[in-house]
Amino acid sequence: MLFNIVVGLVIPWIVVLLHLYRKDKALVLLIGTFSSVIGFTVNGLAIYYGFWTVAPFVEPNTVSTLPFDLGIFPIIPIYLIYFIKKHGRPYVLIPLMALVVTCLEIVFVMNGRVVYDNGWNVVYTYLSYLFPYILVYGYYTYLKKLSVLN
């Protein structure tokens, strides 16, 4: 569990607080909270239906994903939107970010820290990142329309 806390929660938040928070507090707070809710939802449903488990394999397994739901899963979409704001090209960056995160998860699968079950595979993993990132982008464009984010 210490690994999950350090890698999934502490390091990502240190990076964001040192790099992005000073530049765009609203982006970090608004996109981060929305993305965290999505992470909790996706992980909760997937664990409930037995599609994956995350080390350490304790009951309830949602405890193992908690550092990721509060850490890396909101941080990656924050950076995704930051890059989209900076460079444009959301239709390139969203699938690319989903691919990069899927590849990172494959490393966890190969190391036995994530175990797929009930027919889950890498294609479904990619889609489980792609669709939430599209949703986050839609949320971002809505916030821009409301002039909450620039």
Specify the pTM: 0.94
Residues 6+ apart with CB under 8 A from 44: 62
State mean pLDDT over 10-20. Answer: 95
pLDDT of residue 34: 97
Beta bridge partners of 116: 52
Q: At what angle do helices 62-70 and 25-48 cross, to 10 degrees?
A: 160
pLDDT per residue as tens digits for the range 19-74: 999 999 999 999 999 999 999 999 999 999 999 999 988 777 788 999 999 999 99
Tell me, rounded to whole angstroms, the distance of Cα 17 from its chain centroid: 17
Structure tokens at 16: 């964001």
* Local structure of 52: helix, strand or coil: strand
- Rounded to whole angstroms, the Cα distance separating 29 from 36 reads 10
pLDDT per residue as tens digits for the range 66-124: 999 999 999 999 999 999 999 999 999 999 999 999 999 999 999 999 999 999 999 99
| Four-point Cα dihedral 13, 19, 25, 31, nearest 10 | -60
> In the chain, which residue ranges form alpha helices assigned H by DSSP?
2-5, 11-19, 25-48, 62-70, 72-87, 90-110, 122-145
